[in-house]
A = this chain, B = another copy of it.
Amino acid sequence: MSLHLYIPGPVQVSERTLQAMTQPPVGHRSPDFVSLYQSIQPRLQDLFYTTGPVFLSTSSAWGVMEGCVRNLTRKRVLNCMNGAFSDKWHDVSLRCGLEATALQFDWGQPVDPEALRRELATGAYDVVTLVHNETSTGTMSPLDDLAAVLREFPDVISVVDAVSSFSALAIEKDRLGIDVLLTGAQKALALPPGMALFSASDRAFERAAKVKTRGYYFDFHEFLRNHEKGMTPSTPVISLIYALRSKLDDIFSEGLEARYARHARLNAKVHGWVERNGFSLLPRKEFASVTLSCVENTLGIDVPAFNQVLKDRFSCVIDGGYGKLKGKTFRISNMGDETDASIDALVGYLDAALEESGTAKA
C-alpha cells in the first residue's frame, strides 16, 4: 500500500490525475498537440493572473530557475535568501558564471522589503530572485510589499519562485508587476513531478534578447517562438500536460476562491494541532506559509520515530525537516487536493503518533 504524502512535495496525487496520464502521447508537432496546448492556455493565464503566455518546461522548477538567471542577467543578480531554496539560487547563479550578490536573512525570517529597497538603490543589479514561499522553512515573504519595492526599480527584472504557493492563493502577476513567475508541478498543483510552468513579461523578453549566452533548452525566446505556434521548444512531457489539463478541470470546477479558502482553512487546522500540542511554528505567524507548516520541534520529540509511527500505523508520512533544520523542525503539507476529511484524519494520526511514540506532551 502506498503512503499518503503529507510532505511538501511531491504531494499526494489523486487517482483521477494519475489516470489522466494514461492517454496515449501524440506527436508534439501535430495539430492534436497544438489543440491540447492551446486549450489549457486561458486557464493557465487565469491562474497566473496574466495576459501573457504561460510556458511549460519539461524540467523541475530548478531548470527554469537556472534558466531565469542565465536569460536575464547582464550586470548582476541579487539573490534574496532566507532558506534552503533561495540560498541555493545564489549558488546556482554563481555556478552559471554570473555576477551575483546574496541578500541574506535568517532561516524562518521573511525577505524584508526595506532591505531589498536599500540594496537595489545601489544600482548594482539588473535582476532580483525571490522565493515567495520558502518550502524549507514554511515562510511566506510579503509579496505585495516586495513587489511595490520592485516596481520602484523598472530596470531590474524580478523573478519570483512560487513553487510551493502557486494556485494555493492569488498571486496576481500582472497587477504586481512581477516579470517572471514560476512554479513546479508537484506542489500545490498536485501533479506528479517533472514539469515547471512560468510566465514572463515583455520586459523580460527584451532583456533576454540582449543576452547572448542564454543557450537553448531554457531560452525564453525559444519558448516564446514555439508558444506562438502552440508548441514547446523541445519534446514535452506530454503525459504531465494531460494531467495538468485534468487538474485545471478540477481547479476551475472548485473555483479559485473556494480553492484559496480551502487551503487557508486546512492550514489553520494544522496550526491548531501545532498550538494545541505546545509546538510553535518556525516563522512568525504573519509570515507562516498557507501551504505547509514548518513546526519547530520545541518539545524535542524524536522526529524519525514519530514519522515511523505515522508510516507503520497510518500509512502516511510527513517531512522530518530540511537540510540544517532536519530534526529541529518537521513539515506538514496541506497543499494540493487535501480536504477537510484528509486533514482531519491527519490531525488524528498526529495525535495518536505523539502518544504512541512516547513523545506526547505531558
Contacts and interface: CB of A to CB of B under 8 A. Distances in A.
B25 A192 contact: yes
Given A66-B216, A96-B215, A97-B213, A7 B27 contact: yes
A186 interface: yes
A272 B273 CA distance: 71
A96 B213 contact: yes
A231 to B, nearest CB: 13
The interface residues of chain A, by DSSP majority, are classed as loop
Interface residues of A, number: 57
A357 interface: no
Given A58-B60, A216-B62, A2 B26 contact: yes
Interface in A32-63: 58-63
Interface string A8-46: 011011010011011111111010000000000000000
Contact of A18 (B24, B186, B218): B24
Interface string A232-259: 0111111110000000000000000000
Contact of A25 (B15, B60, B193, B219): B193
B24 A21 contact: no
Contact of A27 (B10, B19, B216, B219): B10
A269 to B, nearest CB: 22
A212 interface: yes
A151 interface: no
A76 interface: no
Interface string A177-197: 000000010100000111100
Given A27-B317, A215-B70, A237 B234 contact: no
